Amino acid sequence: MEIIFEDNHIIAVNKACGEIVMVDQTGDTPLLDEVKAYLKEKYHKPGEVFLGLPHRIDRPTSGIVLMARTSKTLARFNKMFQSREEIRKIYWAVVDHHPEPPAGTLEHWISRSPDKNKSYAHTFRAFDAKHALLNYRTLASSDHYHLLEIELLTGRHHQIRAQLAKIGVHIKGDLKYGFPRSNPDGGIHLHARRVEFIHPVRKQPVVITAAPPNDPLWNAFLQLTGEEPRQEKPLPGDHHSSPLI
C-alpha cells in the first residue's frame, strides 16, 4: 500500500492494478479495509475507524484514491464530486492508436450493461444513457503506443475506456474494450495520475500526483515526457533491458 498524502482530514493512496477499493463478490481484502487497519495501528485508535470513500476507480486501473477521515470531510468531498466544479481528475492512458486530432474533447452518451459490467458510448442520446464528456491530449508517442492525458469532466461507469473505444483507440491490456491482449498482471495501462481540489476543511489548494506502476512501458513514457522513471527491480532471470514501445 502506497500512501501519497495524509493529514487529519484526508488520506490518498496510489492504488495498484488489481486491487479492489470496496468489498465485492471476490472476497478479496479491499483497499478501504487496509487503510483502516493502517490508521488504527498508527494512531492507536480504539474501536472502529471512520473512513469515507467519495469515489472509486476500477479494479484493473491504478492511481489515486481519495478517502475522507471524518464525516464532515466526506460530505464536502461528495459535493465536490457531484458538482465537478471544485475538483479536477487527470488520468494517463497508454493506447494503441493515435487519436485524431491529437488533442480535443470527446462527447458521448453512455449506457451501461450491469450483466456484462460494461459501458457503451453512443453518438446519440440513447435510452437510459448519461451524458459523458472528457478532454484529452497526446503527451508522447513511440513506434507502438501513445500516451494520452485525460481530464474527466463527468464521472460515468468505465467512461474513459468506453469513449476511447468508441473512436477506435484502445487502452493497452483492456480486453473488455477491444485491446487484443491482456497484460501479465491483469491490469490495464490506465492510471489516475493527478487530482486538484480546494481542501474541504483548510480551504487551500491541494495537488496530489501519483507515479504510474513500476513497469518498463510506463517508465519509458516517463522518460519521453522528461520525468524521472521509477527504479525498476528486475525479477530473477529477467534479462530484458528495454520494453517494446
Q: How is the chain split into domains, by residue range?
A: 2-224
| Residues 135 and 148 sit within 8 Å (Cβ to Cβ) | no
Instruction: Name every residue whose Cβ is closer than 8 Å to that of residue 20 and which is 6 or more positions away in sequence.
Output: 26, 28, 30, 31, 59
Q: Which CATH superfamily is domain 2-224 in?
A: Pseudouridine synthase (3.30.2350.10)
Confidence (pLDDT) at 245: 62
Mean pLDDT score of the chain, rounded to an integer? 91
Please give the Cα distance from 4 to 31 (Å, whole number).
Answer: 14
Q: Which residue has the higher pLDDT, 208 or 235?
A: 208
Q: What residue type is 238 in one-letter code?
A: D
Query: How many percent of the chain have pLDDT more than 70?
Result: 94
| Residues 190 and 176 sit within 8 Å (Cβ to Cβ) | no
In this prediction the pTM is: 0.91
Give residue for cell 469513449.
Answer: 163
Q: Binning pLDDT at 50, 70 and 90, where does residue 172 land? A: very high
Alpha helices, DSSP H only, in the chain? 31-42, 71-83, 159-166, 216-224
Q: Binning pLDDT at 50, 70 and 90, where does residue 26 land? A: confident
| Residues 224 and 140 sit within 8 Å (Cβ to Cβ) | yes
Query: Pairing state of beta strands 118-122 and 205-209?
Result: unpaired
- Residues 127-140 have a mean pLDDT of 96
Confidence (pLDDT) at 25: 73
242 pLDDT higher than 70: no
Confidence (pLDDT) at 237: 40
